[in-house]
Amino acid sequence: MPYVKQNYRKLVDDTIDDLCMTILENVPIEKVDGVANYIITRIVITLLNKNSYSSMSDIIKTLECSKLEIYRRLIVPYEKKAAEKNGDLEEFL
């Protein structure tokens, strides 16, 4: 997780909150995932130095780390609860 300073977090969080509310108020729920993909792609393209392999590689690393952080913080706890509720695979017991 990128533990950034609070003043940067506040700026980013406020901006993202405003953007998300605008999207949720104006985009049908079944289209939100596509819009989210578009937003992420636009951010990456805007931040990317297309003339530098290092910059392109860094963006891929950042996306991969973000994916893993989401998995660790959101998906793993969800899966653990589901396994407790429904039972785990026998070969893993």
- pTM here is 0.73
5-9: average pLDDT: 89
What is the per-residue pLDDT for 85?
Answer: 93
What is the per-residue pLDDT for 50?
Answer: 77
What is the per-residue pLDDT for 93?
Answer: 60
Read off the pLDDT band of 68 (50, 70, 90): very high
Domain ranges of the chain: 1-47, 52-88
Report whether pLDDT(88) > 80. Answer: yes
What is the per-residue pLDDT for 1?
Answer: 59
SS (H, E, C) the chain: CCCCCHHHHHHHHHHHHHHHHHHHHHCCHHHHHHHHHHHHHHHHHHHCCCCCHHHHHHHHHHHHHHHHHHHHHHHHHHHHHHHHHHCCCHHHC
